[in-house]
Structure 1
Amino acid sequence: MSRISLVISDVDGTLVTSDKRLTDGARAAVTKLRNAGIGFTLTSSRPPVGMRIFSDTLGITLPMGPFNGSSIVDPSLAVIEQHVIPADAAAKSIELLDRHGIDIWVFTNDNWYIRRDDGKYVPHEQRTIQFEPTPIDDFTPLVGKACKIVGASPDFALLERCEPELQAELGDSALAVRSQDYYLDVTPPGQNKGTFVEAMSKRLNIPTESIATLGDMQNDLPMFKVSGLPIAMGNATADVKKLAAHVTRTNEEDGFAAAIDFILARNASS
């Protein structure tokens, strides 16, 4: 059993509560990791700007992985590595989401574009990432520049059906995966939270077996598959829990803090 040297956590549904609060318990848990000499960083479906509050508040000094790990930024949000969705894949994604009547958002590295401002989840996203969208009539000029495309809908079952349909349409040209019940993300090919774990492993010269990952949704599965200690939140979906080595409490019950205590106790006994 390898001792854990690095913890990589998802943000929404994992680090924060459902109303996007960072609890005192979560803050204290990160301090415990630091005091134990264990590295800590984040990977999320959020754009870089939506992660700044955590790098500042938690004193993160390591690179972070926004856009489901398809980009890597330093704590000041300077780009270390960035990938975009191929233009043809972006166009196909927009067309399919549009056909199903799903709200479409396009994220570049430093901006968020929406085609209308009446989407149900626009205010929610604004509060979450603390950034306002730019209305645009036509996404065509952004094709070839998109780091992430999001289909947002209150019809969870529709997004669940669209996920495999869109992935089949895209093939290997991009990745389609739900990051929340209400968000279907399209991100660049060959890049995901798992490749971010592997990049951090190489960067810090830490074997993947010594990395713990925490998450709750389908977009967290790639990092679960490559890390030594995958931990699912109590609120995680069944398929995420199935791939986890440990299941902690929910994000409403300070499950993140409980997971860190589990990691520290595990290290102490190894």
Structure 2
Amino acid sequence: MSRIRLVVSDVDGTLVTSDKRLTDGARAAVAKLQDAGIGFTLTSSRPPVGMRMFSEPLRIDLPMGPFNGSSIVDPSLAVIEQHLIPADAAARSIALLERRGVDIWLFSNDNWYIRRDDGKYVPHEQRTIQFDPTQIDDFTPLLQKACKIVGASADFPLLERCETELQGELGDSALAVRSQDYYLDVTPPGQNKGTFVQAMSKRLNIPTEAIATLGDMQNDLPMFKVSGLPIAMGNASDSVKRHAAHVTKSNEDDGFAAAIDFILGRNAES
């Protein structure tokens, strides 16, 4: 049993509560990690700007992995590594989501674009990432700079069907996976939260078996697969929990802090 030397956490549904609040317990838990000499960083489906509010309160000094780990930025959000969705895959994704009547957003490294401002989840996303979208009529001029395309819908079964359809449509040209029940993310091929964990392993010279990962959704499974200690939140689905070595409490019950205590206790026993 390897001692954990690095913790990589998801943000929404994991680090923060459903109202996007960073609890005192979560802050204290990260401080405990740092006091124990254990590294800590984040990977999320959020764009870089949506992760900036955590760097200072959590004293993050390691690279972070926005866009489901397909980009790597430093704590100041300067780009270390960036991958883009191939333009053809971006166009096909938008076309399929449009046919299914799903709201479509496009994220570049530094902006968020929408085609209308009355989508159900636009205000929710504004509050979450603390950033306002730019409304445009046509995504075509942006296809060459797409870091992430999101299909947003309150019809969860529809979005699940779209996920399967897009995976079949795109093959290995892009990755399509839900980051929330109401968000379907399309991101660059060959890049995910697992490749981010592997990149951090190489950068810090820490074996992957000495890395713990925390998450709650399907897009967290790639990092579960490559890490030594995958931990699922209590609010995760059973299909996600099955891939975890440990299940903590929910994000509404300071499950993140409980997971950190579990990691520290495990280290003490090893």
Report TM bin, short chain.
over 0.9
Aligned-residue RMSD, C-alpha: 0.3
Quote the offset at 1:124 in angstroms: 0.2
Which amino acid in the other structure matches residue 34 of structure 2?
R
Distance 2:183 2:21 in 1: 20
- Give the aligned partner of residue 128 of structure 1: 128
Quote the offset at 1:134 in angstroms: 0.1
Quote the offset at 1:239 in angstroms: 1.3
- Give the aligned partner of residue 227 of structure 1: 227
Runs of 4+ in 1 over 3 A off after TM superposition: none
Distance 2:81 2:56 in 1: 21
- Give the aligned partner of residue 266 of structure 1: 266
Distance 1:166 1:40 in 2: 33
Q: Deviations over 1:76-134 (max 9, x none)?
A: 00000000000000000000000000000000000000000000000000000000000
Distance 1:227 1:152 in 2: 30
- Give the aligned partner of residue 144 of structure 1: 144
- Give the aligned partner of residue 24 of structure 2: 24
- Give the aligned partner of residue 39 of structure 2: 39
Which amino acid in the other structure matches residue 149 of structure 1?
I
Q: Deviations over 1:25-61 (max 9, x none)?
A: 0000000000000000000000000000001211100
Q: TM-score, normalised by structure 1?
A: 1.00
Which amino acid in the other structure matches residue 237 of structure 1?
S
Quote the offset at 1:136 in angstroms: 0.3
Q: Deviations over 1:49-76 (max 9, x none)?
A: 0000001211100000000000000000
Identity fraction in percent = 86
Which amino acid in the other structure matches residue 25 of structure 1?
G
Correspondences of 1:1-270 after superposition (within 5 Å): 1-270=1-270
* Structure 2: runs of 5+ lacking an equivalent: none
The number of residue pairs the alignment matches comes to 270
- 1:138 is paired with a residue whose SS is coil
- 1:143 is paired with a residue whose SS is helix
Distance 1:55 1:65 in 2: 12
Quote the offset at 1:164 in angstroms: 1.1
Which amino acid in the other structure matches residue 151 of structure 1?
G
Distance 1:204 1:211 in 2: 11
Quote the offset at 1:262 in angstroms: 0.1
Distance 1:141 1:46 in 2: 22
Which amino acid in the other structure matches residue 108 of structure 1?
S
Q: TM-score, normalised by structure 2?
A: 1.00
Quote the offset at 1:237 in angstroms: 1.4
Distance 1:117 1:57 in 2: 31
- 1:57 is paired with a residue whose SS is coil
